[in-house]
Amino acid sequence: MAPLMKKLNLMTFNCKSIQSTDRLLALQTELTKLKKFDVLGLAETWQPGQTCCRLSTGEFLYNSGKTGDSRFTGTGLLLSAEMNRQVIGVKYVSDRIIQVLLKMRAGKTLRITQVYAPQSGRGEDEYDAFLDLLSSSLARPLTYDIVLGDFNASTGPRENGERFI
């Protein structure tokens, strides 16, 4: 069980669709340029349903999307083959939240949660519902928790005299 013990390489990426074969192949091509990753969180996959597949490059793709029209939503976790051997469970919470449970040494567990929050223009009620769902999905305590992804956060309007945010 080597990968989770000393160093864990995590990344997150808003892929703006891997629904088509061409887009998925483009992602796989980009992955070959990366030095190494254990877990890549994906936002806006646009893939329907709850799926798991092994890519030709050896990684495992877990996707949580809507059934039917899945445009502009969907979250995923892409795990290296080595990391996938540590998986003890996957929870497809919604089209905006996916979780993977990984075993560690000494019976410890790591939960990685990938999110894709609604954009601020979608309304406060939708964003609050997303936060409530995220909170409830994290309610059961585990040894370790990591939450990553696209929260679509904004810092507010630029102030007078402000040059950079």
> What pLDDT, on the 0 to 100 scale, is given for residue 16?
78
Residues 119, 110: contact at Cβ < 8 Å?
Answer: no
CA distance 40 to 23: 16
Question: String of b and e for 115-133 (b: at least 16 CB within 10 Å)?
Answer: bbbbeeeeeeeebeebeee
Instruction: Report all structural domains of the chain as residue ranges with CATH numbers, in order of start.
Output: 10-150 (3.60.10.10)
CA distance 26 to 23: 5
pTM over 0.75: yes
**pLDDT tens-place values along the chain, 165 residues long:** 444 456 899 988 887 777 777 777 777 777 777 778 899 999 888 888 888 989 888 889 999 988 876 567 899 999 999 999 999 999 999 999 999 999 988 889 999 999 999 987 777 898 899 999 999 999 988 789 999 999 887 777 777 777 765
Which helix (H) or strand (E) is 62 found in, with range? strand 60-64
CA distance 154 to 119: 9
